[in-house]
Structures are given as structure tokens and as C-alpha cells.
Amino acid sequence: MRQRVKIAHALVNDPELIVLDEPLTRGATRLARTTIMNVIKQLGAMGRTVLVSSHILHEIERITEQIVILHRGRVLALGNSHSIREMLDQHPHKIVLDCENPRKLANSMIQLEEVTGISFVNPNKLLIETKHLGEVHKKLPQLIVDSGQLVTGIDNPDDDLQSILMYLTGGSL
């Protein structure tokens, strides 16, 4: 409730720039966080500039696509999370496939020149590493069909803001 009151107070004079420091605190209920995120999105849609400082990165991703990553007073990255991740070529992208027989599917995947590594996460998960995520995703559907494997899930576990921050800071926060 305090966060909502502070945001309401900040909006009284209809400012062009709104700066919110940790508005999505862990102490807030899920409903309160959702309400605050909706207000922030609406402010952006109204043409306001909203600067949000937060450590709750998965919720920041839900609010906006434009991210500025600051670390120890320096700007490390600017843009949307996918374009920032694409710039990190020294770190392979990961694709995790949930499937019946990962070994059989791995035989097809290893043939792709864009694939730099393959490992098995568990008996039903195949982890593919690549520096050409878009190219692998283009070829993936046909490879899955050709392999005859039932794939029940595809995930890019390192294509989120938390992973990007860890890559950019070398794991030191």
C-alpha cells in the first residue's frame, strides 16, 4: 500500500519523467506488484518516461522492452533484452528440448554447423549450445520432424534479463 501511495504522490503534478526506486519490493503482495506494473505500463503508453530501478528482473521484463543495465556506475547495455543477448556472442545461447529420446535427436542436431555443443540434462532433456540462435531455431522444426521425436517443450533458459546481467558482470553483482 505504501508503494502505491508513493507512486500516486509522484503522479500528482503529471510529470514527464517518473523515477521509481524498487517499486516492486518483495514485501508487496502479488496483486500489489501486478497493479504497480500495470500503472507503469500505462504511464509509458501515455508517453511518460518511467525510470525503474529494481532487482526483480523477471518483473522488469514484463513491464518494458527497453532496458538499461547499470553496474557499479557504468552503463553495461542498452536496448531490449533479446538484442542485448545477441550482442554477447562470446557466450553460447542455450536451447533445451524436452523429448522422448534426446540421444536420437542429438544425432540430428550435431550435424548442424551452427551447433557448438550438446549435452543431456536428464533422461528427457537435450541441451544445445550455439552462437547462432536464430539459425538453429529456423532449422529446428524440420530436424524434429525428420527425427520422428515427440518434443514437448523448447526453452531458451539463458535468454532472460537475469542471465544477461550475469554474463555482463561476470557473475559478480
**Count of domains observed in the chain:** 2
Task: Please check whether residue 71 lies inside any domain of the structure.
Answer: no
Looking at the fold, whether 59 and 8 belong to one and the same domain comes out as: yes
pLDDT band at 29 (very low <50, low <70, confident <90, very high): confident
pLDDT score of 3 more than 70 = no
Rounded CA separation 167/58 (Å): 16
Looking at the fold, whether 59 and 107 belong to one and the same domain comes out as: no
Total-model pTM: 0.63
- The predicted model gives 126-141 an average pLDDT of 91
Task: Please check whether residue 148 lies inside any domain of the structure.
Answer: yes
Looking at the fold, whether 106 and 52 belong to one and the same domain comes out as: no
Mind giving me the DSSP string for 51-119? Answer: EEE-S-HHHHHHH-S-EEEEETTEEEEEE-HHHHHHH-TTS-EEEEEEES-HHHHHHHHTT-TTEEEEE
Residue found under cell 530436424: 143
Report the pLDDT value the prediction gives residue 80, as an integer from 0 to 100.
82
Domain housing 55:
2-64
Looking at the fold, whether 98 and 153 belong to one and the same domain comes out as: yes
Task: Please check whether residue 116 lies inside any domain of the structure.
Answer: yes
Report the pLDDT value the prediction gives residue 91, as an integer from 0 to 100.
77
Task: Please check whether residue 124 lies inside any domain of the structure.
Answer: yes
Task: Please check whether residue 164 lies inside any domain of the structure.
Answer: no
